[in-house]
């Protein structure tokens, strides 16, 4: 039997397939199409310190090979998740839960890490693509010094492995990755969405009410693969790769680039039971190339020499 088990930050995943935060709710809706137990892990909807209603609609727009979203982190708040949602997930499903959190101040991140540390979540994923309200609104994840400081402070208060989710909207993804590593992160996940915009040519107004949004889906996959490989070669932290994976071949590609786990996201909107196809294709690939252990392909890409 081919081994699909992966150890990520000391946590055993039954297979390398997880879900991307913001695309899977809290899992219950998708369980009607494919049991959550099929996944190695699921990432929660992005949690904030207080409940958020999100942005006004329209907040989703289709694009060629992807979507733009400006949902605005609509969620019930970290305390509701910890008290009412996480207990149900751990009781009903045999899968790891990655609790994703977003904050506007270091203090908010610290408070959420403390709350989530008391739950059965396996890993805390820290989204740093958020505006730092104490420093003019610039996203935490665009300043290496801020990333290191934030990571170091949150790590002090997290009793779970801390994974930092990186934004691709930076000059150097490796600089930010090294900063997170220096701050004590246990792992990294990348990429988050790319900034994008669509305009209705009839009204001459942006389609999204918020004007711009995050681009996800197959259109961003080549960017994600490149960044995952760059980060893999720059740091020693394990990586969760994401950004347009919609097939078993895509998962394999991310793993060859350096990802240990790979998240499905936008593809689940079109095919909620995509996990079955992905797992079947991975096993077929392993059989074809006589691979006994999926871990053996992590970072195995052979780069061309100039």
Give catalytic residues, as residue numbers.
130
Q: What does the block give as tokens for 32?
A: 């009607």
Q: How far is it, in rounded angstroms, from Cα 45 to Cα 101?
A: 8
Please state the separation of Cα 290 from the chain's center in Å.
30
DSSP letter for 131, please.
Answer: B
Query: Which of 240, 245, 250, 253 minimizes the C-alpha distance to 6?
Result: 240
Q: What does the block give as tokens for 216?
A: 């996800």
Query: Which of 225, 200, 195, 227 minimizes the C-alpha distance to 212?
Result: 195
Q: How far is CA 128 from CA 164, 199, 272, in A?
A: 7, 28, 28
H or E element that contains 230? helix 221-234
């Amino acid at each position: 039997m081919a081994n699909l088990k992966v150890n990520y930050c000391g946590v055993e995943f039954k297979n390398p397939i997880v879900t991307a935060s913001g695309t899977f709710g809290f899992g219950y809706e998708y369980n009607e199409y494919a049991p959550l137990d099929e996944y190695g892990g699921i990432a929660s909807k992005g949690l904030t310190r207080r409940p958020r209603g999100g942005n006004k609609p329209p907040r989703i727009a289709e694009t060629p090979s992807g979507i733009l979203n400006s949902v605005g982190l609509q969620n019930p708040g970290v305390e509701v998740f910890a008290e009412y949602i996480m207990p149900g997930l751990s009781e009903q499903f045999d899968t790891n839960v990655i609790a994703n959190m977003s904050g506007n101040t270091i203090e908010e991140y610290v408070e959420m890490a403390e709350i989530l540390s008391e739950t059965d979540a396996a890993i805390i994923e820290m989204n740093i693509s958020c505006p730092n309200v104490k420093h003019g609104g610039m996203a935490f994840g665009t300043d290496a010094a801020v990333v290191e400081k934030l990571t170091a402070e949150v790590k002090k208060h997290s009793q779970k492995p801390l994974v930092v989710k990186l934004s691709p909207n930076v000059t150097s993804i490796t600089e930010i990755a090294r900063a997170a590593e220096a701050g004590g992160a246990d792992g990294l996940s990348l990429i988050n969405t790319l900034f994008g915009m669509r305009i209705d040519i009839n009204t001459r107004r942006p389609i999204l009410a918020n004007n711009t949004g995050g681009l996800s889906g197959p259109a961003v996959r080549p960017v994600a693969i490149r960044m995952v490989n760059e980060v893999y070669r720059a740091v020693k932290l394990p990586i969760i790769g994401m950004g347009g994976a919609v097939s078993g071949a895509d998962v394999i590609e991310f793993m060859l680039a350096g990802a240990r786990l790979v998240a499905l996201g936008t593809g689940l909107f079109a095919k909620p039971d995509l996990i079955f196809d992905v797992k079947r294709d991975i096993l077929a690939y392993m059989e074809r190339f006589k691979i006994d252990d999926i871990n053996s392909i992590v970072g195995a890409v052979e780069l061309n020499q100039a």
